[in-house]
Amino acid sequence: MTDSTRLNPADEIALGRDFMTLSQHVLSNFGTFSAEAYDLSALMSRIGLAGKTIARHLSLAGLLENVLGVTGETNVQGEAVKNMDHYANRVFLRAFEQSGLVCRLASEEMEKPYYIPENCPIGRYTLLYDPIDGSSNIDVNLAIGSIFSIRQQEGDDENGEAEDLLQSGRKQIGAGYILYGTSTMLVYSLGKGVHAFTLDPSIGEFILFQENIHIPDSGSTYSVNEGNFWQWEESMREYIRYIHRQKGFSARYSGALVADIHRILFQGGVFLYPGTIGHEDGKLRLLYESAPLAFLIEQAGGRASTGTQDILDVVPTKLHSRTPLIIGSKENVKVVESFLNK
């Protein structure tokens, strides 16, 4: 009589792998079936839905209208809005309407936070996100990403200014990114390690491929836009000259922060976006780019610094505050800081 409760070992392993979905993993990562665990499992599942929807749209670039190219508008950052920026921003908003989970969403693309009134009485989470990071890569079919940060709302936000968001990154309860590359991957942490998933389009699920990822303590990749060399402080130029003299270091810079961070998470090294003359705070935004990636990289055993202060300790003065960013393997970040603090 065949035992229909078991498969052969190889099929059993494959079945087990296919059933470690994103929402399943959040519950197992929490180790409880509390209301909070279920809420965060559902929240992560909605983020996964947004990622799947964006990945599908991107896969038809050139065939579908409004995937490539620009909308003709300029966003709050003063940057030209790409069609995909606009589309992906809306996808995240739609993913959380009728979810009961998230009352407010704050994004690179929106000057003010977006409120979902029907969620607010019960939804105590706020999602901060960069819907498309690296959008200059879209029209040339190179890797791009989405970055997300999850916070608990503090107080009732009566004046609708979301002032409770102007707190350090240590207030984050979760963060991660979706990388739209040769495959679509989602990497997240809820404060209990860093875990990575690959989207299997054939079943429409993000399937776990590595959990409790640890970033190497040092690496031989440095990732920086050397086109800005003469705009940097002399101390930063000194660091780059030092790296040029080190054997075995390679420069890798994709133009998409998420792609560069993904490489460094798995292979070690350091990503740098320092301030420049006239833009001492650099280009990258704190609340929905640097802080979530700092949360993730610290969870993986790495470091993230402004050059003089941990990113996670920086308190923003406004929703779209920018910060210099030095992030990656702790030994590499330490060397950069030693130059910047001479």
For binding to ligand P6P (CB under 6 A), which residues are involved? 133-134, 136, 225, 255-257, 283-284
When the beta carbons of 51 and 134 are compared against ligand P6P, the nearer one is 134
- Number of Cα atoms under 13 Å in the Cβ half of residue 121: 2
When the beta carbons of 138 and 208 are compared against ligand P6P, the nearer one is 138
Cα distances (Å, whole numbers) of residue 248 to 2, 222, 315, 321: 57, 11, 37, 36
When the beta carbons of 257 and 304 are compared against ligand P6P, the nearer one is 257
Distance CA 123, CA 116 (A): 9
The set of residues, in sequence order, having a beta carbon less than 8 Å from that of 90 and lying 6+ positions away, is none
Distance CA 90, CA 39 (A): 22
When the beta carbons of 67 and 284 are compared against ligand P6P, the nearer one is 284
Question: Shortest gap between Cβ of 257 and ligand P6P (angstroms)?
Answer: 3
Question: Shortest gap between Cβ of 209 and ligand P6P (angstroms)?
Answer: 24
Question: Shortest gap between Cβ of 227 and ligand P6P (angstroms)?
Answer: 7
When the beta carbons of 103 and 272 are compared against ligand P6P, the nearer one is 272
When the beta carbons of 253 and 266 are compared against ligand P6P, the nearer one is 253
State phi, psi for 68 to the nearest 5 degrees: -85, 170
Token pair, residue 24, equals 């399943």
Distance CA 235, CA 214 (A): 30
Question: Shortest gap between Cβ of 64 and ligand P6P (angstroms)?
Answer: 23
β-pairing, 102-107 vs 114-115, is antiparallel
Token pair, residue 43, equals 């929240």
When the beta carbons of 102 and 256 are compared against ligand P6P, the nearer one is 256
Cα distances (Å, whole numbers) of residue 32 to 38, 107, 188, 207: 9, 31, 18, 20
Question: Shortest gap between Cβ of 285 and ligand P6P (angstroms)?
Answer: 8
Question: Shortest gap between Cβ of 225 and ligand P6P (angstroms)?
Answer: 3
Q: Which of 88, 80, 79 minimizes the C-alpha distance to 58?
A: 88
Question: Shortest gap between Cβ of 136 and ligand P6P (angstroms)?
Answer: 6
Residue 106: which H helix or E strand, with range?
strand 102-107
Q: Terminus-to-terminus CA distance in the chain, angstroms?
A: 75
